[in-house]
Structure 1
Amino acid sequence: MSTVTIEPWGEGDLPILELSNEPAMMQHLGGPEAHEKLLVRHARYLDGWASGTSFMFRIEADGEPVGGIGYWPTEWHGEQVYETGWSVHTAHQGHGHGTSSLLLVIEHAARHGDRDALHALPRTDNRASNAVCRKAGFRLLGEVDDEYPPGNPIRSNDWAFDLRTRRAG
């Protein structure tokens, strides 16, 4: 079994976004993005750390970058929560890296965050991401209408994790 770690997103992590932008990996996310959009996303990830508004990480398995994961504050059904999302490169899927990194994000959000819930909203037909949620201990709240990217309607599963269960006393 690989040792999975998460490291704060850095200047040199643009290639992770580029590898994640292949058609097979973007099939549940509206298709590949233009390179200019990847540059904007990369800058947003860096700015999130600098401003404390979002927390994106590089996923590493035995020291090798294999994808990205993070969480950010949002409002969901009138509640202030965090949302999470991830991407594990095709060559590294099926080895538990998504679940392992999500468990690390849960711990980070519980330790450093100020919100009580972490939500994930994978499309209902994204079997792998739904399995990651289940394995990481999220509770399925049901199906919801969503948009991703904005303007592209999708049907998602709403998974939630109660971060209070991971906080000390």
Structure 2
Amino acid sequence: MNAIQVKIETWSEADLDLLRQLNAPEMTEHLGGPETEEQILARHERYLKIEGRGTGRMFRIVALPELEPVGSIGYWDSHWQDEPAFEMGWGVLPAYQGRGIAGQAVAEAIASARAEGKHRFINAFPSVDNPASNAICRKSGFSLIGECDFEYPPGSTMKCHHWQLDLDKQ
């Protein structure tokens, strides 16, 4: 498959259908499974409001030149071991995986988080069973801190790799 050029754009009201597509079983297998429609609507509202609250940013990933939505990426305020930081997460629709999209989107989101100058670190917690997301962290310059238990979704614990990137370093 050929690489696709992408850019990230601020999450908008029109992205609810994309969020529903990202909620498919094959997309959520490492995240505890699909959410209910009520949970999806609540997530969409959080995504719409996050930037205005100053607590992070959510983006749709669009393929160029058509501007077709192919995924989502974002970062938000978090704490890890009592230290404030951003946490980052992403998803690329199955038809577009393996084409360098997530890596490009992660680089753009890191640049956005770095420009905010709010936190020194950004963390990612992909499941130990998700080789693709772990590879993206490694290729994007994150350092593997180690394995950890991470609560996601709420009430459920999963075994993750803790990856961290120092936003103060280029």
1:155 is aligned to: 159
**Partner residue in 2 for 1:9:** 11
Q: Paired residue for 1:26, among 25, 28, 41?
A: 28
On the 8 A contact 1:45/1:54 being kept in 2, the answer is no
The Cα shift of 1:54 comes to 2.2
> Pairwise CA RMSD of aligned residues?
0.9
1:74 corresponds in structure 2 to: 78
1: distance between equivalents of 2:30 and 2:137? Answer: 16
* Offset, 1:112: 1.4
Alpha-carbon offset, residue 3 of structure 1? 1.9
Letter matched to residue 15 of structure 2: D
What does the per-residue CA deviation read over 1:79-105, in whole Å, with 9 as the maximum and x for residues that have no partner?
110000001001110001111100101
Aligned to 1:89: 93
1:36 alignment partner in structure 2: 38
Q: Secondary structure at the match of 2:128?
A: coil
Amino acid at match of 2:68: E
- For the residues of structure 1 that align with 2:169 and 2:44, how far apart are their CA atoms? 32
1:152 is matched by which residue type in structure 2?
Answer: S
Residue number among 54, 59, 62 corresponding to 1:60 in the alignment: 62
TM-score (ref. length: structure 1): 0.96
Which ranges of structure 2 fall in alignment gaps of 5 or more residues? none
Corresponding residue for 1:46? Answer: 48
Q: Does 1:110 align with 2:114?
A: yes
CA distance in structure 1 between the aligned counterparts of 2:7 and 2:54, rounded to whole angstroms: 20
Superposed structure 1 runs of 4+ greater than 6 Å apart: none
In the alignment of these two chains, the number of paired residues is 166
1:70 Cα deviation from its structure 2 partner: 0.2
The one-letter amino acid of 1:76's match is W
| TM-score, normalised via structure 2 length | 0.95
Letter paired with 1:93: Q
Counterpart Cα distance in 2 of 1:89 and 1:51: 28
Alpha-carbon displacement from aligned partner over 1:21-78 (angstroms, at most 9, x marks no partner): 1111110011011111100000001111222212000001112110100000111011
Question: Which AA in structure 1 matches 2:146?
Answer: G
Task: Report how far residue 161 of structure 1 moved.
Answer: 0.5
SS at match of 2:73: strand
